[in-house]
Amino acid sequence: MTVFGSSVLGRAWVSTYRGRPPGQDELQEVTSFNMTNGGKEPALHWAETTLDVHGRSVPGHLAFVPASAQVNIDRWAVLLFGKEYSASIQLEGMTPEQLTLCVNLRRGSGSA
């Protein structure tokens, strides 16, 4: 499985999980910690949403990451949850509305 994120406005970093994808709570906690550099308040405020992926609405969560001393730019964290995958996406220099997402699930011998 691959997830692609593209925009002419900024950058996107995508991490995907298959097999036993982490649960929503687990992925939110890890992403919050990583994107806030483990500061005093590592939690982000997540909002439930749906995102368009190849013409299908996929449930997800998104959070705004305020600019920090280390990174002088505002960022967004996007989490996607599907039956066969989950993905964590970091956006820099663009909003979630400016992101184009495609998911390609490959099925082979014993792989998802």
Is residue 110 in a domain?
no
Q: Domain tally for the chain?
A: 1
Please say if the pLDDT value at position 14 is more than 70. yes
Is residue 76 in a domain?
yes
Is residue 92 in a domain?
yes
- Cβ 5 vs Cβ 88: under 8 Å: no
Host domain of residue 38: 2-104
Is residue 56 in a domain?
yes
Res 17: pLDDT: 77
Please say if the pLDDT value at position 98 is more than 70. yes
- Among left, alpha and beta (phi > 0; psi -120 to 50; other), residue 108 is beta
**21-75 pLDDT, tens digit each:** 778 888 888 888 877 766 666 578 899 998 877 777 888 899 988 776 666 677 8
Is residue 111 in a domain?
no
The order of strands in the sheet holding 86-92 is 2-6, 100-104, 47-53, 56-65, 75-81, 86-92, 11-17
